Amino acid sequence: MKQLRIGFDAKRAVRNFTGLGNYSRLIIDSLARRYPDNRYLMYSPDARPNRRLDPILGLDNVELRLPATATGKALPSLWRVSGITGDLRRDKIDLFHGLSNELPLNIEKSGIPSVVTIHDIIFRHFPQCYKPIDRKIYDFKFARAARAATRVIAISECTRRDLVNSYGIPVGKIDVVYQGCDPSFSREVTDAEIENLRKKYCLDGPFIVTIGTVETRKNQLLAVKALRGLPEEISLVIVGRQTPYADEIRRYIAANSLSDRVKWVDNAPFAELPVFYRAALFSTYTSRYEGFGLPVIESLSASTPVIIASGSCLEEAGGPSTPAVNPDDVDDMIHQCRHLIDDDTHRSSVAEAGHEYVARFNQDTFTGKVMEVYDKALTN
């Protein structure tokens, strides 16, 4: 097989430290290591300090490409949506992958085969969480990219259904490729690491953890409400960037005298997340809607049970043994928490079954599936 020159929309890989940034870095890093004969060119409007990107750029077969023309440098946003294709042709790119729901508007005219990953179209399910102008922009970009792409990667069956139902994308054009999980979540965590984490964040006694941006859709309030039905020695640790939704949670905490049982952690280093999972009794991720729900995979990879919400794709991520609750059912949430707290055998069984289930989301499988999609796009 000939050496391929694969281009990526790397804006998120360079700029973002969560979500889309993690996905972008994982896919580039995984491909570069498993298929080292190819060249991987990362196209970004700019270069920014990013320690998590440095190991990838240190690989011999990975390059960072910035706008090559004066116009592209002066108008980086315009370059990303159209001018970039000139650079792709000059660099003799065989295939271009839009990693974060977008493709250049003129990608079809360029003649370069393309793949786009669509993570979710949550803005259609929860429009109240987005500004009207943002919804219109996302709708236009996502639909156009999915229609223009040679192949589409959906990160779950749920997202594939949404693409078919909302945009009329032919189901045969869409490949479901479950996201791989960073290997750090499967590593052994030492007692010393857990002890250091507890000291750093003043975490005394057993705790439940929920990790993710603190926003309305993520529904962290359900776990807070459940505390009232749990033993008083159990606390909740909320790890993630806070939005105004955190104020609603704080008001509930104050009104119900739960201040001593809820700990907030903002801007935790990525390297600490596996330690949070391993130190916790279990985690919760009761988001009302997700494209995939990576924190579910992370928790189970760390052999930590997780309680999820039903109704979107989280059952896909967690598997049949993971407890699922209605995102508004506090009583069932309490019941599922109590079962994990009170029954060590049950908690161990759920953890073991979940860990075995998420083995299907390993990095090698993920990378191989992505390359299969590339092969389809190149032979389309």
Q: What mean pLDDT is predicted for residues 36-46?
A: 97
Q: What mean pLDDT is predicted for residues 169-180?
A: 94
Q: What percent of the chain has pLDDT over 90?
A: 89
Residue range 150-165, pLDDT digits in tens:
999 999 999 999 999 9
CA distance 176 to 181: 16
Predicted confidence at residue 180, as pLDDT, reads 79
Tokens for 67, please give them. Answer: 């706008």
Q: What mean pLDDT is predicted for residues 286-292?
A: 90
Confidence of residue 1 (pLDDT cuts 50, 70, 90): low
CA distance 87 to 248: 47
Residue range 194-232, pLDDT digits in tens:
999 999 999 999 999 999 999 999 999 999 999 999 999
CA distance 309 to 166: 23
Backbone angles phi, psi at 314, to 5 degrees: -65, -30
Q: Are 202 and 265 in contact (CB under 8 A)?
A: no
Residues forming beta bridges with residue 325, ordered by sequence position: 309
Residue 9 has pLDDT above 90, yes or no: yes
CA distance 183 to 274: 10
H-type alpha helices, 126-272: 132-148, 157-167, 191-201, 221-226, 245-255
Question: What stretch of H or E contains 365?
Answer: helix 363-378
Residue 60 has pLDDT above 60, yes or no: yes
Residue 312 has pLDDT above 90, yes or no: no
Q: What mean pLDDT is predicted for residues 7-21?
A: 93
Q: What mean pLDDT is predicted for residues 81-110?
A: 96
Predicted confidence at residue 17, as pLDDT, reads 86
Q: What mean pLDDT is predicted for residues 287-301?
A: 92
Q: What mean pLDDT is predicted for residues 283-294?
A: 92
Domains and CATH numbers, the chain: 5-180+362-378 (3.40.50.2000), 183-360 (3.40.50.2000)
Q: Are 283 and 211 in contact (CB under 8 A)?
A: yes
Confidence of residue 363 (pLDDT cuts 50, 70, 90): confident
Q: What mean pLDDT is predicted for residues 272-294?
A: 95
Q: What percent of the chain has pLDDT over 70?
A: 100
